[in-house]
């Protein structure tokens, strides 16, 4: 049986965070993209344990002060930007039996492929920046996240961006070792 995921944000919260998202886009489409984005982008950034803790706390309305800070300052925006990035594809293109087609509009000029590429690249830059800022923040206050950063897990080397590496557990975006497995 597939696990049912709790959405970390509603469509209305995404629209409030990113006012450029039109009210004409159905909330169901936004909610679907929230769930996809949080599974494909947010959960890998946080690690499974941290992600599940946030999901549980949000669904029970018992978010800790430390976790609320991470949500407010970083994750809600990262998630919203990921949704916006996904929506650019679903609203711009349509997959048909004869291939990928550009959706046409009667009320405005459709963006060119180069415009869409630039737009998506710019969104990804914002996502990467906020993700790295969150990682830096968590690394500066490890006492607030002891279950994800334990000093016994730290390796002697760093990744290509100079971040510490961890043997297992929450990796803050760094590489896991070969023995790491999903639970």
pLDDT of 54-110, one tens digit each? 889 999 999 999 999 999 999 999 999 999 888 887 776 665 666 656 666 555 556
In a domain, residue 44? The reply is yes
d(CA 89, CA 126): 17
Domain count, the chain: 1
Residue 146 has pLDDT above 60, yes or no: yes
Count CB atoms within 10 A of the CB of residue 55.
18
Range of the domain at 129: 11-95+107-166
Across 7-16, 48-57, 128-137, 138-147, least confident range: 138-147
Using the predicted structure, report yes or no on whether residue 183 has a pLDDT greater than 60.
no
Structural domain includes residue 161: yes
Task: Supply the pTM of this predicted model.
Answer: 0.69
Question: Which residue would you say has higher pLDDT here, 126 or 181?
Answer: 126
**Token reading at 96:** 């048909």
Position 183 in a domain = no
What pLDDT sits at residue 83?
92
Distance from C-alpha of 2 to C-alpha of 13, rounded to nearest angstrom: 26
């Amino acid at each position: 049986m597939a696990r049912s995921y709790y959405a970390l944000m509603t469509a209305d919260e995404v629209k409030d965070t990113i006012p450029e998202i039109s009210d004409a886009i159905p909330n169901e489409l936004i909610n679907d993209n929230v769930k996809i984005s949080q599974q494909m982008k947010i959960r890998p950034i946080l690690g499974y344990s941290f992600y599940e803790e946030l999901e549980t706390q949000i669904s029970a309305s018992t978010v800790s002060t430390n976790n609320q800070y991470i949500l407010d300052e970083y994750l809600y925006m990262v998630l919203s930007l990921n949704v916006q990035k996904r929506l650019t594809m679903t609203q711009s293109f349509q997959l048909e039996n004869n291939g990928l087609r550009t959706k046409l509009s009667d009320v405005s000029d459709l963006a060119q492929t180069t415009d869409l590429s630039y737009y998506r690249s710019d969104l990804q830059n914002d996502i990467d920046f906020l993700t790295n800022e969150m990682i830096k923040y968590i690394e500066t206050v490890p006492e607030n996240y002891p279950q994800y950063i334990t000093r016994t897990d730290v390796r002697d080397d760093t990744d290509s961006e100079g971040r510490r590496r961890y043997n297992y557990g929450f990796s803050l975006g760094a590489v896991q070792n070969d023995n790491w497995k999903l639970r």
